Amino acid sequence: MNKRVLAFHLPQFHPIPENDRWWGRGFTEWTSVVKAKPLFQGHNQPHLPADLGFYDLRLPEARQAQADLAGEYGIHGFCYYHYWFNGRRLLERPVDEILASGEPNFPFCLCWANENWTRRWDGCEENVLIGQNYSEEDDRRHIAWLAGAFEDERYIKINGKPLFLVYRARRLPDPLRTTTVWREAARSLGVGELYLCRVESFNDERDDPKRHGFDAAVEFQPDWVNLDGLPLRKERRWDIARSLRLSDNTFTRHRVYDYAAMVKSMLRKSEPPHKRFPCVTPMWDNSSRRKEGAVIFTGSTPELYEEWLSTVVERFIPYDRDENLIFINAWNEWGEGNHLEPCQKWGRAYLEATRNAIGAHAPSLAQSSSS
């Protein structure tokens, strides 16, 4: 049975007026990425792009190059983050132009990143720039806009139903009401039935998604809840001083874990009683965004990542012919040190590992009879 691998995709790689006002003219994700510095011996920072360079997602050539590269290495489609605030959208231009132009001809779906817009990019999450204000009226406006995207022939569907993810479903005042409104409105708009997924990231999002009107959950990696049992890396003061002459509080200001230990822990996780699509991450290090409280995984290699993804592919049994999704976090989260796109250190090694893991267990994994 075929399995489809989707990669989360961040559209924060082009300037927008709001970011110009909040962080300075021309701010994009690259602004944070290039400022990163190593914090301890062996710390891989900054993460710098290779093949695709410092692209601008306003350019159709950049979007096409991403799709071409992803398809070459077995990725079935992108899951674009979608930013909706009571009818106001941010970072919308790449998806709008993909919808309007019909290019690239590459499957995609949307994930509503329904958190408040804060100064997360400089570590000040308590400073809210645009807040979420939920209402039934807004639920109806939202699904009316989404209906246009759902009708695109490239939009990823499960048994004919458009796939839509919500990143923080428990932030909704009444998730069941919202999903009920969406489903009723989608039918009245001629979209038909929806396939709704709740992303399973935080501790309050581990119960049965059907209780809240969702068809399934999507695992998110790193799994913050299950990091609690992992040992934090610590360095003695003289080791740090000898290596990079850094202050001795690096390992108290940030949480530093071993990637290999995390992989072992994730593979020991028990399966939930509800439908959940699995997820893996090639690496993670968001210290470019955070002066305090960064989470850093050290020791990630293409080989370790390939072992993890290969095991997940082998173990995952699709719920039916179309309920066959595996997620990778992420395609291009450069500010989180979390990307499949080629970098100057590893080149295409993580992409090659992805293709190896896919091909090892399902030669036709990247193919599907349904988008």
Give 205's pLDDT tier (boundaries 50, 70, 90): confident
Q: Which amino acid is at 109?
A: C
Q: For 16-54, how does the pLDDT look when each residue is reduced to its tens digit (9 = 90+)?
A: 999 999 999 999 999 999 999 999 888 999 999 999 999
CB 74 within 8 A of CB 68: no
Q: What is the pTM of this model?
A: 0.92
Q: For 316-371, how does the pLDDT look when each residue is reduced to its tens digit (9 = 90+)?
A: 999 999 999 999 999 999 999 999 999 999 999 999 999 999 985 443 444 443 45
pLDDT of residue 172: 96
Exposure string (b/e) for 251-290, b if CB count within 10 Å is 16 or more?
A: beebebbbbbbbbebbeeeeeeebbbbbbbbbbbbbbbbb
pLDDT of residue 227: 79
Of 126 and 92, the one with more pLDDT: 92
361 three-state secondary structure: helix
> What span, in angstroms and rounded, lies between the C-alpha atoms of 286 and 338?
8
Q: For 304-330, how does the pLDDT look when each residue is reduced to its tens digit (9 = 90+)?
A: 999 999 999 999 999 999 999 999 999
> What span, in angstroms and rounded, lies between the C-alpha atoms of 1 and 329?
23
Ordered DSSP codes for 247-278? -TTHHHHSEEEEHHHHHHHHHTPPPPSS-EE-
Instruction: Name the phi and psi angles at 171, rounded to 5.
Output: -75, -20
> What span, in angstroms and rounded, lies between the C-alpha atoms of 218 and 42?
33
Instruction: Name the phi and psi angles at 76, rounded to 5.
Output: -75, -35
Instruction: Name the phi and psi angles at 253, rounded to 5.
Output: -80, -25
Q: Return the CA Rg of the chain.
A: 20
Q: For 269-298, how does the pLDDT look when each residue is reduced to its tens digit (9 = 90+)?
A: 999 999 999 999 999 999 998 888 899 999
Token pair listed for 251: 């390992």
Find the mean pLDDT for residues 225-251: 57
> What span, in angstroms and rounded, lies between the C-alpha atoms of 90 and 64?
21
The C-alpha angle with vertex 9 and arms to 289 and 305, in degrees rounded to 5, equals 80
pLDDT of residue 264: 94
Cα distances (angstroms) measured from residue 188 to each of 144, 183, 184, 293: 10, 9, 6, 46
Give 235's pLDDT tier (boundaries 50, 70, 90): low
Q: For 164-194, how does the pLDDT look when each residue is reduced to its tens digit (9 = 90+)?
A: 999 999 999 999 999 999 999 999 999 999 9
Instruction: Name the phi and psi angles at 81, rounded to 5.
Output: -70, 140
Which residues, including other chains, have CB under 8 Å from residue 41's CB and lie 6 or more apart?
239, 240, 243, 244
CB 2 within 8 A of CB 319: no
Walk me through the domains of the chain, giving residue ranges and CATH numbers.
4-37+46-228+276-287+301-361 (3.20.20.80)
